Amino acid sequence: MAKIIAISNQKGGVGKTTTAINLSSALSYLGLNVLLVDFDSQGNASQGLNALKYNDQPTIYNVLLEGLPVRDAIVHGEKTKIDILPANVSLAGADLIMDRLETGKERLLKNALEPVRDAYDFIIIDCPPSLGLLNTNALTAADSVLIPVQCEYYALEGVTQLLLTIRMVQKTSNPNLRIEGIVMTMFDYRTRLSVDVSQEVRQTFGRLVYQNSIPRNVKLSQAPSRGVSIFEYDTRCKGAKAYAALTREMLHIEEDI
């Protein structure tokens, strides 16, 4: 049965999608079956892996709100071995519709993923940059949350807010939700700010923070334009090495991928 990990931080542009794509890809290179769920109406994970092919293609919206079987919307990766449940702009209105449901509005994603949970080792959910109902659905479906934190000012405020939301979900709809870890992203060891923020986050959250940070690496921002993860784009670059190391650390594996 798949372990479900939500990649979440309500702050925009902190590296959620980049982490979701490259963690999923690293896991698949380890021989694990991975489903990447795009849960953001921006559709960045879907676009970054070339998973949106034609108009009216079924997406997670049809699964969540129109009862389409989840298997009918899953796209099999072309250049990567990851399966993708894509999203597009139609998801933008979903939370309003979901909010009108009388019961079970937090559990729609959990229920939608249930039929495929046995088919995968990991299901990775790329969350939107908000703390609305979509995020609550992701946290209710998940076993754990992985939190990317960008090395910049105000990093801590966002995390504190997210931790409150996690506690709320633990109390209401998912008592077993754990924090998988916090990963520092876009780390630039040459800047004082990166070093200071990273130190502050480590002092505040201690062992929740992964030893491996993700450096700022332009190749990580280029790979999506080719529809591939960093491991197909340039397996030797710093970004690829960092995501491979992070994945090993998450799985408690010592040797190289």
The helix/strand/coil state of 181 is strand
Q: Is 247 in the site for ligand ATP (CB under 6 A)?
A: no
- x-or-dash string of contact with ligand ATP, 38-57, rule CB under 6 A: --x-x-x-------------
Q: Nearest distance from residue 184's CB to ligand ATP, in Å? A: 10
The option from Mg ion, ligand ATP, none interacting with 25 (CB < 5 to 8 A, set by class) reads none
Q: Is 41 in the site for Mg ion (CB under 5 A)?
A: no
Residues 174-203 that bind ligand ATP (CB under 6 A): 185-186
Which of 172, 199, 211, 221: binder of ligand ATP (CB under 6 A)?
221
Cβ-based neighbours of 165, under 8 Å, separated by 6 or more: 10, 131, 135, 136, 139
Cβ proximity to ligand ATP: between 181 and 239 the closer is 239
CB atoms within 10 A of CB 110: 19
Cβ proximity to ligand ATP: between 27 and 183 the closer is 183
> In 8-35, which positions are buried (b, 16+ CB within 10 angstroms) versus exposed (e)?
bbbbeebbbbbbbbbbbbbbbbeebebb
Which of 10, 17, 194, 229: binder of Mg ion (CB under 5 A)?
17
Residue in the shown chain whose Cβ atom is closest to Mg ion: 17
Cβ proximity to ligand ATP: between 78 and 188 the closer is 188
Q: What is the largest CA-CA distance in the chain?
A: 52
CA 118 to each of CA 43, 123, 145: distance values in angstroms, whole numbers, following the listed order = 25, 10, 20
Contact criterion met (CB below 8 Å) for 173 and 136 = yes
Residue matched to tokens 């959910």 = 125
Which of 16, 109, 131, 233: binder of Mg ion (CB under 5 A)?
16
